[in-house]
Amino acid sequence: MAQHPSILLKNIKQPGQHTLSGYESRGGYSTIRKVLKMEPAKVTDEVKTSGLRGRGGAGFGCGVKWGFIPKGNTKPVYLINNADESEPGTFKDRVLLELDPHLVIEGMLICAWAVQSNWSCIYIRGEYGYPYTRIKAAVDEAYAKGYLGDNIFGTGFKHHMVVHRGAGAYICGEETALLNSLEGKKGQPRLKPPFFPAAIGLYGCPTIVNNTETLAALPWILENGGKAYAAIGTEKSTGTKLISASGHINKPGVYEIALGYPLLQFIEDECGGIRGGKKLKAVIPGGSSMPVLRADELAGVNIDYESLVKAGSHLGSGGFMVMDETTDMVEVALNVAHFYAHESCGQCTPCREGGHWIEKIFRRIAHGDGLGGDVQLVESICGQVAGHTICAFGEALSWPAQAFIRKFPDEFKHKIGDALVGIRSKRESLNFEYEGAH
Ligand SMILES: Cc1cc2nc3c(=O)[nH]c(=O)nc-3n(C[C@H](O)[C@H](O)[C@H](O)COP(=O)(O)O)c2cc1C
């Protein structure tokens, strides 16, 4: 097994790590004390040097995004920790929130100082009951110790933090839907531009939205320096990434790997190989909204932003779903399509209608009622949804559907073929009965 630098999961198995005393006993909150003495702009520079990219899915440069706050801004600056984590196959933020919540808080405070924010919010997925109690207890402890409040660490800097539970909608992970939901409106994405809430966000004020994992990487970066972080991984995909590994593997779980790690080696060495000695059939590498890759496409592919794009997919949220040779890809396509049809917020017609249409077609194919031309119809619907919606949900529902039919055409043809044979034989028997009546 390869030795990966442990930045995010280093202490999660230590006793009492979720408590403030446990966290501090291992050096916790020492970095923020130093950071609060730095020039805020220098903190942003260090994060830019690290090359840290957002871990929520889009992979946008973290320090670059912070730099989008308008110069000379006089409005309050808000910071949102996006802990909505609803992408199927993704369960890594949960581990941080549950097992090392003070690491998350320290990361948020570093960001807050860099962007001079006095108010932050942890927007946590509604279904995350236990992670909620852990992060809420940690926030309460930090308040009690003076690490949050009007005068944090006795420095005169004010920072207040609230934990807000979502109501169970996947779309509220999209940052502008999240902001609407926080403002008490319908959780529906906002029109772009502006492309980033850094300029106009919560209540019209500059707002930084970062994923939990992104924020949790900050204490290490500021402690060890941006260059040290950039030295891990590849040139453009720096640092480590949490991978939520699930499916037909021997050891499902959350792994921290240096970006650039070979994908097949990850399955063999870290995940313990395919369950029951079966053959690998396919992998979805970045959560269910990312295109599936066939086993024969995986040789030489590494787990990083560039390599996965070159292979025809994306790193996304790092939700790594492994399927063995027994998997029925039509059923998988239907399952994924059902999720996106159900979770569309309904604001944009192509997404609201297209999602259900794709699901309906996959369902009839799976149930042996597919029609000739169904695969082409799915292609056509996907083409009319992706790129035609306010947010990237349009891509999230189209990309996987397209990939399943393109990568496994025979499985779809086979089921549709069976259905057509079924229709023919039904017709033949009807004809026979009809003729027999004469
Ligand atoms: C439909 C949809 C769902 C999303 N869900 C999440 C989510 O659950 N968690 C998350 O961090 N980002 C999610 N994102 C991405 C956010 O909009 C945003 O890019 C991210 O929180 C920025 O943080 P980062 O730069 O640290 O990745 C989602 C995006 C879309 C289009």
- Residue nearest atom 5 in ligand 1 by C-alpha distance: 173
Using pLDDT thresholds of 50, 70 and 90, give the confidence band for residue 316: very high
pLDDT mean over 38-57: 98
| Cβ of 51 less than 6 Å from ligand 1 | no
Nearest residue (CA) to ligand 1, atom 12: 56
pLDDT at 393 over 50: yes
Instruction: Please name the amino acid found at residue 183.
Output: E
The verdict on the CB of residue 307 being under 6 Å from ligand 1 is no
Is the pLDDT at 338 greater than 60? The verdict is yes
Q: What is the mean pLDDT of residues 183-211?
A: 96
DSSP 121: E
Instruction: Answer whether residue 432 shows pLDDT above 50.
Output: no
The 3-class SS string of 134-173 reads: HHHHHHHHHHHCCCCECCHHHCCCCEEEEEEECCCCHHHH
The ligand 1 atom at the shortest distance from the C-alpha of residue 395 is 31
- pTM for this one? 0.95
- Per-residue pLDDT at 424 exceeds 90: no
* Residue 436 CA to ligand 1 centre (angstroms): 64
Distance 142 CA to ligand 1 centre (A): 26
Q: How confident is the model at residue 417 (pLDDT cuts 50, 70, 90)?
A: confident
Q: How far apart are CA 81 and CA 408, in angstroms?
A: 38
Q: pLDDT digits over 128-168, tens only?
A: 999 999 999 999 999 999 999 999 999 999 999 999 999 99
Confidence of residue 87 (pLDDT cuts 50, 70, 90): very high
188-194 mean pLDDT: 94
Percentage of the chain lying above the pLDDT 70 cut: 95
CA distance 46 to 41: 9
Query: Which residues, in sequence order, are bridge partners of residue 78?
Result: 119, 207
* Strand ranges across the sheet with 119-124: 160-165, 119-124, 78-83, 207-211
pLDDT of residue 89: 97
What pLDDT was estimated at residue 419?
A: 63
Give the tokens for residue 73. Answer: 């801004």
25 CA from centroid of ligand 1 (Å): 33
pLDDT band at 427 (very low <50, low <70, confident <90, very high): very low
pLDDT at 313: 98
Residues 199-258 have pLDDT tens digits of 999 999 999 999 999 999 999 999 999 999 999 999 999 999 999 999 999 999 999 999
Predicted local distance difference test score (pLDDT) of residue 62: 98
Arithmetic mean of pLDDT, 259-269: 98
Looking at residue 274, its amino acid is: I
Rounded to 5°, angle at Cα 347 from 345 and 351 = 75
Q: Which of 188, 211, 389 to mutate to test the pocket of ligand 1 (most atoms within 8 A of CB)?
A: 211
Contacts of 321 (CB under 8 A, 6+ apart): 89, 246, 247, 283, 284, 288
Q: How far apart are CA 3 and CA 258, in angstroms?
A: 9
Q: What is the position in ligand 1's atom list of the atom closest to the CA of 392? A: 31
pLDDT for res 429: 44
Taking the centre of ligand 1 as the mean of its atom positions, its distance from the CA of residue 180, in whole angstroms, is: 14
Does the beta carbon of 56 lie inside 6 Å of ligand 1?
yes
Buried b (16+ CB within 10 A) or exposed e, 248-266: bbeebebbbbbbbbbbeeb
83 has pLDDT over 50: yes
Average pLDDT over residues 329-348: 98
Provide the β-strand partners of residue 238: 233
The span from the CA of 242 to the CA of 253, in Å, is 10
- Four-point Cα dihedral 84, 85, 87, 91, nearest 10: -160
pLDDT confidence of residue 1: 67
The model's confidence at residue 4, banded by pLDDT at 50, 70 and 90, is: confident
Cβ of residue 264 lying under 6 Å from some atom of ligand 1: no
Question: 141: Cβ below 6 Å to ligand 1?
Answer: no
Other C-beta atoms lying within 10 Å of the C-beta of residue 160: 16
The predicted structure's pLDDT at residue 434? 38
Q: Residue 365 above 70 pLDDT? A: yes
pLDDT given for residue 321 in this prediction: 98
Mean pLDDT of 343-360: 98
Per DSSP bridges, beta strands 319-324 and 280-284 are antiparallel
**Residue 131 near ligand 1, beta carbon < 6 Å:** no
How much distance in Å is there from the Cα of 57 to the middle of ligand 1? Answer: 6
Phi-psi sector, 42: left (phi>0), alpha (psi -120 to 50), beta: alpha
Q: Flag whether pLDDT at 2 surpasses 90.
A: no
Q: Indicate which atom in ligand 1 lies nearest the CA of residue 60.
A: 25
Task: Indicate which residue's Cα is closest to atom 7 of ligand 1.
Answer: 173
Domains of the chain in sequence order: 20-230 (3.40.50.11540), 240-324 (3.10.20.600), 329-418 (1.20.1440.230)
Question: What Cα–Cα distance (Å) separates residue 171 from each residue in 49, 83, 166, 388?
Answer: 32, 13, 10, 16
Average pLDDT over residues 331-338: 98
Q: Is 392 a pocket residue for ligand 1 (Cβ < 6 Å)? A: yes
Task: Choose among 378, 277, 380: nearest CA to 336.
Answer: 378
State the chain's maximal CA–CA distance in angstroms.
99
Q: For residue 163, list its beta bridge partners.
A: 122
Residue identifier of the C-alpha nearest atom 20 of ligand 1: 56
| Atom of ligand 1 lying closest to residue 214 CA | 26
Degrees (nearest 5) of the Cα angle 84, 90, 95? 75
The CB of 55 under 6 Å from ligand 1? The reply is yes
What mean pLDDT is reported for the chain? 95
3-class SS at 90?
A: coil
Q: In the predicted model, what is the mean pLDDT of residues 372-380?
A: 95
User: Which atom of ligand 1 has the smallest separation from the CA of 125?
Assistant: 8
Residue type, 67: G
Residues 94-136: tens digit of each pLDDT: 999 999 999 999 999 999 999 999 999 999 999 999 999 999 9
Instruction: Report which ligand 1 atom has the smallest distance to the Cα of 86.
Output: 8
Residues in the chain: 438
Residue 268 has pLDDT above 60, yes or no: yes
* Beta strands 293-294; 280-284: pairing state: antiparallel
Phi, psi dihedrals of residue 71, rounded to the nearest 5°: -65, 140
Q: Whose CA is nearest to atom 30 of ligand 1?
A: 174
